[in-house]
Structure 1
Amino acid sequence: MTKSILTGLCLMLTFSALAQQDVYFTSSPALTPDGSEIVFSYDSDLWKVSSKGGTATRLTGMDGVEEFARVSPDGKWIAFSSNQYGNADIYLMPINGGEIKQLTFNSSDDRVETWSWDSKTIYFRSGRYNRLAAYTIDIQGRTPKHLFDHFFNWPHNLALHPDGRVFFNESWESSNQVHRKRYKGAFNPDIKTFNMHTGEYSELTDYEGKDLWSTIDKNGNIYFASDESNGQYNLYGFVNGKKTRLTNFKTSIKDPQVNANGGFVVFEKDYQVYLYDVAAKKSQKVNISIFQNNTLAQEQEFSTDRNISAFDVSQDEKKLAFVSRGELFVSDISGKFVKQLKTRAEERVVEVKWLKDNKTLLYTQTVGGYTNLFTIDAATGTGEKQLTNDLGADRNLELNADLTTGAYYSGRNEVRLIDLETLKSET
């Protein structure tokens, strides 16, 4: 079945710009050496913004996804990963934008990790040769070199200490299972080091949970994340050689990076960029604005065939509601007459249920990355109302047979009931 909807975007002949405030889904931030600017990934491209916040400048416009940017200690270069040609390779560009040079050409995925202190070598992880391992490549793009001759198991999250030690993790719990917080067991990741000059190996942490993402400034100050204090990843450092918690967030941080000269640590939290001031011992969100082109909507046909992710039949068995590609639709039971309902354009509908009146739809829709409950009048397509405002996903919505009560999960630890008459929820 097909439905004409407002999805295609045509640039207007006259350019005008709209600033999108309080941007979400910014990721993998990194600081310039003096900490004055942040390079981050958003909407598949790299952007740069003042550490004090403001309007970001787009640095790339490639066809792939550009992420994991790292700024060289001399402040001249940005190394990053991009899947421009399918798999992720390593690329290099000047700090203020300009010609982009591809450095690796392997069929495996290559992810930038860090720089050498002389700004001549890039360290990266790669799955080449059927094993995740650590490699280096110079900025001229010559043949990559394997970092460890003796093959540590799964080395990643690399950071370089000025004294020559390489810091790393080597557990899948700190690579492809970072979302699994509170894990405690034989595969818990610790902060490990190997001195490339002396061959000395050591483990700096022995917590049975997760210690990961080490990052080091030119003075040897070490920062990393751990879930030891409250089951969420917070920022830690070593104070007088002792592991010390620096933040106390109730939701996790991700991928902290200190600036080369020291003084600031940037990280991702709740899909936004935050900055920790070492001297002030305080963190704050970096308020970022993104200028986007003003566009004119144009009708475009697209098929929902085999693209329906959720559906429900009304109690009178006359109407169908369904979700396709994050959009909400209603139709007659045969699917002959289809209508799209207007929901939030920047968000995504996930689940849908009919209520007892055969007129109202109860559905989940993202709000800043988290699904919440909504209702809308299916007959008119108007009157959308948000029922919950949770910072944990409301999901797996199920209604009883007589459509008087519903149940759903909220966040990690709650099961809630919703009265389908009053639309009030309780844990």
Structure 2
Amino acid sequence: MFINHSSSYFRAAALVAVALFVSSANAQTKLLRFPDIRGDRVVFTYGGDLWIAPSSGGTATHLTSHPGVELFAKFSPDGKWIAFTGQYDGDEQVYVIPTTGGEPRQLTFYPARGPLPPRWGWDNQVYGWSKDGKRIIFRSLRDSWSLPIARLYSVSVDGGPAEPLPMPTAGSGDYSPSGAEIVYSPQSRDFRTEKRYGGGQANALYIFDLKTNFAKRVTEGPRATRDPMWIGDTIFFNSDRDGHFNLYAYNVSSGKTTQVTTNKQWDVRWPSSDNEGQIVYELNGELQVMDARSRKSTPISINVPDEGIARRPSRVFAGNLIESFNLSPKGERALFAARGDIFTAPIEKGPTRNLTHSSGAHDKWPSWSPDGSQIAFISDLSGEEELYLVPQDGSKPPERLTTGGTAMRYSPEWAPDGKRIAFSDKDGTVYILTLADRKLVEIADSPRGQIRDYAWSTRGNFLAFSMPNDNQFTSIYIWSAADNKLHRVTDDMFNSYNPAWDPQGNYLYYLSDREFSPQISNIEFNYATNRPTYIYAMTLRKDVKHPFPPESDEVAVAKSDEAAKPAASPLPTDQPKPEATPKPPPTMSIDFEGIENRVARVPLPADNYGGLSAKTGHILYGTGSAPYYGRQGDRPNALKIYSIKDRKETTLVDDVRGYTMSDDGSKILVAQGAAFNLYDATPQGDRTRKPVAPTGLYVDRVPAEEWNQIFNEV
């Protein structure tokens, strides 16, 4: 008998595919959050929506589908309603919805505090119902002057003003069977991620008598106790007193506490009860239900049906997610890292190029080579962050230059001769890679902080950066390629940082915090320091002249033979004499002996300086306001340029988020609000603005690849 092997193969492949689909469709869904139980049903949050499923397991039914999150669902005592916290109009409010589904009805309207940092969770967090099912209990920050100080409130299921419970501060809480008492925690630290915290802010549980307003502490020990659930004569709660969060039971009559669950691998999370005999909780991203009488837990296998829309590949715009930016050596094209890919974009004409197309990698910190041919960047394509190289025209795929990375790596910086690349990592190590032999060396290792402000000298034979000392003040260090030695060139009395080399090889500019003029508070007798920074110039050799010698108006006395000479004809006013640009020396050397004393302050007042860079005859820097909590600073950030010869400061651009300068010092690319603009790097540069629109920055997104990368990166 003739057998068509091809047909048999495809039939077998189809059966396997169907089996995998069926298996996937019926598989236990992970990341089921904030569950509650009533009778034979459980409700939970998945993907920011509420779902309801049989407590015995099975396929879940969609209950809400708004783009905002819906969470902390709690069944009413009769099981007909579900109260929850939702974001239907932007902030978190209390809502109620029929268990059978329908339109949610909003019950609270006082503006929520937020958005809150993750460690503080959400405002207006629903905790349960009154025993008669007429009121919903929730925690709110509405009357709080500080985030740790919240309070429990109740609101009628029919609407109306919320009323505070008598406890002055409270986190979670649950009523006694009679409703005359409530077990609660005075604090809310339920979203903190630290493990085994045993300090003074650890949650404890109290029984509060609602008639006498008397509170009795019922849990002891330094570890957190949270999520109280009152069933009969027993208060169940969650605690990490054995190292992992597990359920415990406190007998109200005897005062005795016993451990109920003994999980050693995963923490019990967000347990919730029906106050009758069932407790549901998270464990390893799934749900388990526990019988409060037998103390036996059973996994609930729940499948949440998914159309797979979130997994579909798509092309998405990345121009609003730019992480960093740079310029080509002469400023012809812009360089962007956006949404994990590396792009080059034209200033005026031409295509935008995605050089990496790496949906499964986070590509960042791009830097253009001095000859314009290649771009160095950091990527975790291999699983760890490494240094890569890619042609600027995208003609070849990226090439990995390093291996063995163990920490986040930052900002490749090319030496001006294109022979070396410097970069650093999160552990405070500075590396230099030699391109010719791919040799990687560590030149500095700081145990007290990261090093991110390294800068190459004009000839590429020195690298300057700041590094923390034992007293946590940073000093400027210079690494010499000739002897592979590290030299500290500023003392440890002040913070000195952000070095920038004079292109002529005569000076090293840097910032240093040396102005201490404290500002006294109007509210309390305390102070803050503002505008503490000066700009300094260090002469690199003993024969280099002082950069800012004293100025004095003196009389120029003409010699006798000069007095007889006729005056030279002036140049036409429309033809100014061009200023010659001196060329940098063919070699560059530094006299390290006594260098820390060869320092002059740039004649500028103290300010909040940052982003220092240098070009021939000028330095560029940013100024701005000191940061404030709750409001904008008293002046916008500005980019300024200072003429060394004229000793004159000019504001180039206002409202600056950041900037970068081309290698030849001719152009600057400035981030202003959400826009990018190119300017000439001259005192008159404010009149040369050219908008650079990152409209062509698109990435081909494969969600499953992105999720894997995000998980590994975290």
The TM-score, its normalising length taken from structure 2, stands at 0.43
Indicate which of 93, 96, 104 corresponds to 1:92.
Answer: 96
Give 2:35's aligned residue.
Answer: 29
* 8 Å Cα contact 2:44/2:50 also seen in 1: yes
Give 2:87's aligned residue.
Answer: 83
Are 2:49 and 1:45 equivalent residues in the alignment? yes
**CA, structure 1 residues 311+21, in 2 after alignment: closer, same or farther (shift >3 Å)?**
farther
* 8 Å Cα contact 1:321/1:329 also seen in 2: no
Q: CA RMSD, aligned part only?
A: 4.1
* 8 Å Cα contact 1:266/1:276 also seen in 2: yes
Tell me, which stretches of 5 or more residues in structure 1 are unaligned? 1-16, 314-319, 366-371, 389-393, 407-427
* 8 Å Cα contact 1:38/1:51 also seen in 2: yes
Describe the SS at the equivalent of 1:188. Answer: coil
* 8 Å Cα contact 1:87/1:107 also seen in 2: yes
* 8 Å Cα contact 2:248/2:257 also seen in 1: no
**CA, structure 1 residues 273+221, in 2 after alignment: closer, same or farther (shift >3 Å)?**
farther
- 1:197-236 matches, within 5 Å, as 197-217=211-231, 219-230=232-243, 232-236=244-248
Are 2:380 and 1:363 equivalent residues in the alignment? yes
Indicate which of 283, 288, 299 corresponds to 1:275.
Answer: 288
| Per-residue deviation, residues 143-200 of structure 1 (Å, max 9, x unmatched) | 211111xx42x3011111114221111224x24x522232222222111110113433
Q: C-alpha distance in 2, partners of 1:350/1:50?
A: 44
* 8 Å Cα contact 2:128/2:174 also seen in 1: yes
Shift of 1:293: 5.6
Are 2:107 and 1:103 equivalent residues in the alignment? yes
Are 2:181 and 1:145 equivalent residues in the alignment? no
**CA, structure 1 residues 22+349, in 2 after alignment: closer, same or farther (shift >3 Å)?**
farther
* 8 Å Cα contact 1:30/1:38 also seen in 2: yes
User: How many residue pairs align between the two structures?
Assistant: 351
Q: C-alpha distance in 2, partners of 1:253/1:323?
A: 40
**CA, structure 1 residues 339+237, in 2 after alignment: closer, same or farther (shift >3 Å)?**
farther
**CA, structure 1 residues 353+202, in 2 after alignment: closer, same or farther (shift >3 Å)?**
farther
**CA, structure 1 residues 184+282, in 2 after alignment: closer, same or farther (shift >3 Å)?**
same
Describe the SS at the equivalent of 2:143. Answer: helix
Shift of 1:92: 0.6
| Per-residue deviation, residues 284-343 of structure 1 (Å, max 9, x unmatched) | 364433322658755454414xx3447999xxxxxx99864xx43134699952245343
Greater share of helix residues, 1 or 2?
2
Moved more, 58-67 or 20-29: 20-29
* 8 Å Cα contact 1:74/1:118 also seen in 2: no
Higher relative contact order (CA 8 A, sep 6+): 1
Give 1:251's aligned residue.
Answer: 266
* 8 Å Cα contact 2:53/2:302 also seen in 1: no
Q: C-alpha distance in 1, partners of 2:363/2:220?
A: 41
Shift of 1:207: 1.0
Q: C-alpha distance in 1, partners of 2:56/2:124?
A: 31
Indicate which of 192, 196, 202 corresponds to 1:188.
Answer: 202
Give 1:415's aligned residue.
Answer: none
AA of the residue aligned to 2:36: A
Q: C-alpha distance in 1, partners of 2:207/2:105?
A: 31
Q: C-alpha distance in 2, partners of 1:323/1:216?
A: 53
Q: C-alpha distance in 2, partners of 1:166/1:123?
A: 11
**CA, structure 1 residues 187+93, in 2 after alignment: closer, same or farther (shift >3 Å)?**
same
Q: C-alpha distance in 2, partners of 1:226/1:55?
A: 31
Give 2:670's aligned residue.
Answer: none
* 8 Å Cα contact 2:25/2:303 also seen in 1: no
- 1:19-418 matches, within 5 Å, as 19=25, 22-31=28-37, 33-34=38-39, 36-108=40-112, 109-131=123-145, 132-148=150-166, 151-152=167-168, 154-163=169-178, 164-172=180-188, 174-175=189-190, 178-217=192-231, 219-230=232-243, 232-238=244-250, 241-267=256-282, 269-270=283-284, 272-278=285-291, 279=294, 281-282=296-297, 284=299, 286-292=301-307, 299-304=315-320, 307-309=321-323, 324=338, 327-331=339-343, 337-339=353-355, 341-344=357-360, 349=362, 362-363=379-380, 373=384, 380=397, 396=408, 398=425, 400-402=431-433
Shift of 1:221: 3.3
Q: C-alpha distance in 2, partners of 1:285/1:88?
A: 29
Q: C-alpha distance in 2, partners of 1:157/1:209?
A: 16
Shift of 1:228: 0.8
* 8 Å Cα contact 2:81/2:99 also seen in 1: yes
Shift of 1:22: 4.7
Describe the SS at the equivalent of 1:290. Answer: coil
**CA, structure 1 residues 286+247, in 2 after alignment: closer, same or farther (shift >3 Å)?**
farther
Describe the SS at the equivalent of 2:87. Answer: strand
Q: C-alpha distance in 2, partners of 1:248/1:81?
A: 29
Shift of 1:107: 1.0
Identity %: 22
Describe the SS at the equivalent of 2:340. Answer: strand
Tell me, which stretches of 5 or more residues in structure 2 are unaligned? 1-21, 113-122, 328-333, 368-374, 391-395, 410-424, 434-438, 443-714
Q: C-alpha distance in 2, partners of 1:312/1:227?
A: 48
Shift of 1:106: 0.7
Greater share of strand residues, 1 or 2?
1
